[in-house]
Amino acid sequence: MPSEVPAHTEPNSQTTEYSTDQLYLACWLLVTQQRLKYLGVRAGRFFFADPEGRGSSLEAEYLTGDPLVPIQRMRDSLSLLRDQLRRGGAR
């Protein structure tokens, strides 16, 4: 599900962050444990620590690969992310 606002990696004074507004991509990153630490939600975007700058390549893998994951882990992650969106805050 492509987004109008692309996910991106941006510099930060302490780390590099990857962010996306795509709920299912964020969920996939959580479920598959792609070594991006989940930082929380800000302004409707999901943020991950991305010190190696892998976010964009992981997004491409998600969009072009086989993003299948165990359904229960996906449901649990979706619940967590949706709850955070509703509250509008970080973890």
What pLDDT is stored for residue 14 in this prediction?
Answer: 57
Assigned token pair, 2 = 């492509």
- Residue 2 within any structural domain of the chain: no
Task: Provide the domain limits for residue 23.
Answer: 8-87
| Nearest one of 29, 34, 25, 31 to 7, comparing CA atoms | 25
pLDDT of residue 72: 84
Mean pLDDT of 63-86: 86
Instruction: Flag whether 3 is in a domain.
Output: no
What's the whole-model pTM score?
0.70
User: What total of structural domains would you count in the chain?
Assistant: 1
pLDDT of 5 strictly over 50? no
Asked if 80 contacts 40 with a C-beta cutoff of 8 angstroms, the reply is no
CB 9: neighbour CB atoms within 10 A?
18
What is the per-residue pLDDT across 22-74, written as a single tens digit (0 to 9) for each?
A: 999 999 998 887 678 999 999 999 999 999 999 999 999 888 887 777 788 88
Cβ atoms 31, 73 nearer than 8 A: yes
